[in-house]
Structure 1
Amino acid sequence: MSASHAVLALVGAELAKTIDPRVAEMASAIAAQHGAASRAVLFYGSCLRESQLDGLMLDFYLIVSNYSAAYERRWLALANRLIPPNVFPFAHQGLSAKYAVLSEDDFARLCGPQADNVSVWARFAQPARLAWAADGAAREQAVAAVAQAGPTLLSLSLPGLAPDARTSAHAVFDHGFSMTYKAELRAERKGRAGSIIESAPEYYAALFEAAQADGQISPLAPVSPADAKIASRRWRRLQRRGKGLSVVRLIKASFTFAGGIEYLAWKINRHAGTQIVLRPWQRRHPLIAAIVLLPRLLASRAVG
């Protein structure tokens, strides 16, 4: 699936919208960390919808030309290549952030229907901003990659809905986002998908219409039982793969993300309403803490 004219135009305009100058400065500083390998920096997530950024953890994706060029340490390049992305903490002018690193090739692949997990296209089916780009070609590549994400979510969502719900942008996106939460260890409250859509209803409605105009989805087309079964199997594979990857990435982050265990606890408390307090030994041994904490979180239904 490749993005066509209407989706490209819509996504390109969304990515180009004005951002807080501090976010732009942070994006430029993130790019500088990886020198000439940096190609684009995307700002996404819940902080995109916030006007007060102090005290929040901003989310970025850094897109690089290739992993070998992005790192001085070969093991970091290998880790990024084998289990993408690598995630790092970052601070700039009083703001805190984390950024994930993907190559241009991996970013394009993981935004599209060929992806073996939902982690990238689920995020970029939502509004985002292109906060920094190395040049015009990097900007075009980033827009083209992001423009795959929405149609990917929509095409996977439609077969699982009743015929009368397939014509509703809200219903299709709500179903799609809800399914992606089941494909990751995501700490999200019930109704989270709906609140995401309600934060930018005009964008989701326009994306739904653009995907139809480009022929990427056909909400009125009948869905055969065989097609519905294929889609259901695809979601089950994504769920199995996604949950396994979430565990592996969590363990990897204990090595690559300083303070990763603190961030994990903060994220779960914020989204699931829990009151996890880390003990001193957990801070000293984040890898063991992550392994010990995970079963307790699953048992309490804080994630899953």
Structure 2
Amino acid sequence: DIYDGLLDLYLICDSYRAAYRSPLLAGANWLLPPNVFYAELSLEGRTLRSKVTVISLRDFRRGCSSAWFESYIWGRFAQPTHILHSRDPGTREAVENCLLEAARTLLQNGLPALPDQGLVTDLWQQALALSYSTELRTERSGRAAELAQSARDFYATLTRLHAPSLGSGFKVYDSGAELHYSKATGRARSLAANGAWWLRRAQGKLLSVLRLVKALFTFEGGLDYIAWKLER
């Protein structure tokens, strides 16, 4: 039910100056990307709510890669995503490449903190849970498992695609009806990875608060968005 929740929409622009008439909005988006807008539409007595996030293609490309320590972008876009509109084939291809890189970045950062072998669905469940844990309002318990199971074919394809580039002897193989993985991560690297995720949790919550505060000053409806965010 699209009315039960918040539609998560992203608008990827060439530049922040081109996206806004207001220098304040453009500057805020550049200083602490992205800007988040809250929008409502009443249809047949029901309210359709959406979160519209604005980010430049440059920042989106960086945010989907290891150039961003924070998992804000690559953690989100390692999940199934639909491109609703693209102005031309070249732009669509650029965004699709970013989506592939986001999945690879989550695997690259998540794998050293995860068990050395197991089911690929469990791998993604745990990797997604790590990303969710960095948010101000963490996803409800079981959300990562639901997503990993419902999109198991999607994640199996991504895992096979990225396996050769992940290092640590990472391999995927079929066993029965399930896709499994194995790897070899040293203790020092595992400890470093877990430490990095601890820092991401601290960083993610701090930046989430700063983005919410920024929303108060950058757009009409900011209080409505914050109230909705905290209510959920």
> What TM-score results when the alignment is normalised by the length of structure 2?
0.84
Q: Following superposition of structure 1 onto structure 2, how do residues 19-168 of structure 1 map, counting pairs within 5 Å?
A: 52-54=1-3, 56-91=5-40, 94=43, 95-165=48-118, 168=119
Alignment of 1:211-226 (within 5 A): 211-212=162-163, 214-216=164-166, 218-219=170-171, 220-226=182-188
Question: Residue 12 of structure 2 aligns to a residue in which SS?
Answer: strand
Q: Secondary structure at the match of 1:207?
A: helix
Distance 1:148 1:109 in 2: 10
Q: 3-state SS of the aligned residue for 1:130?
A: coil
Q: What is the rounded CA distance, in whole Å, between the counterparts of 1:186 and 1:144 in structure 2? A: 29
CA–CA distance in structure 1, aligned partners of residues 184 and 150 of structure 2:
30
Equivalent residue of 1:231, what SS?
Answer: helix
State how far apart, in whole Å, the 2-side matches of 1:173 and 1:264 are: 30
Query: Which structure 1 residue ranges, 4+ long, deviate > 6 Å from structure 2?
Result: none
**Distance change in 2, residues 1:267/1:73 (3 Å):** closer
Number of residue equivalences = 216
1:59 alignment partner, SS class: strand
- CA–CA separation in structure 2 for the residues paired with 1:143 and 1:128: 10
Unaligned stretches of 5+ residues in structure 2 = 172-181
1:107-149 deviations in Å (ceiling 9; x for gaps): 0000112212111111110001111111111111111111111
Partner amino acid, structure 1, of 2:73: V
Counterpart contact for 1:153–1:173, Cα < 8 Å = no
Please give the alpha-carbon distance, in whole angstroms, between the structure 1 residues aligned to 2:228 and 2:146: 20
Which has a greater percent of helix? Answer: 1
Q: Which residue of 2 aligns with 1:179?
A: 130
Partners in 2 of 1:224 and 1:88 — Cα distance? 43
2:165 is paired with a residue of what secondary structure? coil
Q: Go from structure 1 to structure 2 and tell me whether the alpha carbon gap of 1:265 and 1:75 turns closer, same or farther (over 3 Å shift).
A: closer
CA distance in 1, matches of 2:6, 2:184: 43
Matched, 1:205 2:156: yes
Give TM-score scaled by structure 1 length.
0.66
Cα RMSD, aligned residues only:
2.0
Distance 1:74 1:259 in 2: 19
Q: Cα gap change, 1:231/1:131 in structure 2, threshold over 3 Å: closer, same or farther?
A: same
Greater strand content: 2
Shift of 1:265: 3.8
Question: 1:269 Cα shift?
Answer: 4.2
2:202 aligned with 1:240, yes or no?
A: yes
Identity %: 37
Q: Quick one: which amino acid aligns to residue 258 of structure 1? A: E
Give the counterpart letter for 1:245 in structure 2.
L
